Amino acid sequence: MGGWGSTRWGDIPPKPRTDSVWDLRVTDVLRVAPVRRGRLSKGALPCTRTGRVDVITDATQRDIGVRLEFRRLVLGEWEPHVAEFALVPTEPCLGGERWWFLCPTCGSRRSSLYFLPENDPAWACRRCQGLVYASQSQTYRQRVRRRALKVLAKLGARVMEPAAWLRPELAPEMWVSGKPNGMHWATFGRLYSKLRRLSIESCYSLPPTARRRRLGL
């Protein structure tokens, strides 16, 4: 009972991931068209999927909103597309304002909205679109590699092959030549210690022989 191949998991298609669809972040919108009370702000966002995206932030009314205008490919022809979202602020503990989108489907505050043209509405939050994060379908070793690559990028390391540092004879700290210019030594030490910790964590996903080689045993 319950032997190999007894279930039908292979017939269930995987859920789409957030990194495979177009996502719109509120920080990107407000960077090109910030909220100015009583005024309209206009800007443009570059997008590899649709080209230029015109952004208009309307703060002339009590309810502040943002409007997107771009062209998308439908049945081999480019057609104009317009989308409008509401913006709401919250007040952090240290002061200022933090802006959020209101999801057109569930009405919750979200920092990002995702575009799926086959859904109605096409713009919605991750939960309403049924999307999952890329890390949810990654193995332990892949998650450790992704975290280490982020630390390497902060340290200014240029990794030509993303998976090269996972080779048993190489450790991720070997890619760091020194402290980047302008970085405090305390920050460099913290990031380097984190990189060493990730290097040790990655050993647990390697075969025993490669693990001993990595640790120098």
pLDDT digits (tens, 9 = 90+) for 180-206: 888 899 998 898 888 888 777 766 655
Q: 115 and 53, same structural domain?
A: yes
Give 20's contacts (C-beta < 8 A, 6+ positions apart): none
- Cα 73 to chain centroid, rounded: 24
Q: 180 and 119, same structural domain?
A: no
Q: 174 and 87, same structural domain?
A: no
pLDDT tens digits for range 98-117: 999 999 988 899 999 998 88
Q: 111 to each of 33, 82, 149, how far by Cα in Å? A: 16, 20, 24
Task: For residue 34, give its domain range.
Answer: 18-129
Edge-to-edge strand ranges of the sheet holding 22-25: 22-25, 112-115, 123-124
What pLDDT is attached to residue 17? 83
Average pLDDT, the chain: 78
Q: Is residue 10 in a domain?
A: no
- Percent of the chain, pLDDT > 70? 77
Last residue in a domain, options 129, 151, 184: 129
What pLDDT is attached to residue 101? 92
What pLDDT is attached to residue 114? 92
pTM equals 0.68
Total tally of structural domains belonging to the chain = 2
The mean-pLDDT minimum among 22-31, 68-77, 162-171 falls in 162-171
pLDDT tens digits for range 39-77: 888 888 887 667 788 888 888 888 888 998 888 767 777
pLDDT tens digits for range 120-138: 788 889 999 888 888 887 7
Q: 122 and 24, same structural domain?
A: yes
Give the mean pLDDT of 154-175: 59
Q: 156 and 92, same structural domain?
A: no
Last residue in a domain, options 90, 107, 129: 129
What pLDDT is attached to residue 217? 44
Q: 115 and 145, same structural domain?
A: no
Last residue in a domain, options 66, 101, 129: 129
45 three-class SS: strand
Q: 113 and 40, same structural domain?
A: yes
pLDDT tens digits for range 135-149: 887 777 778 778 888
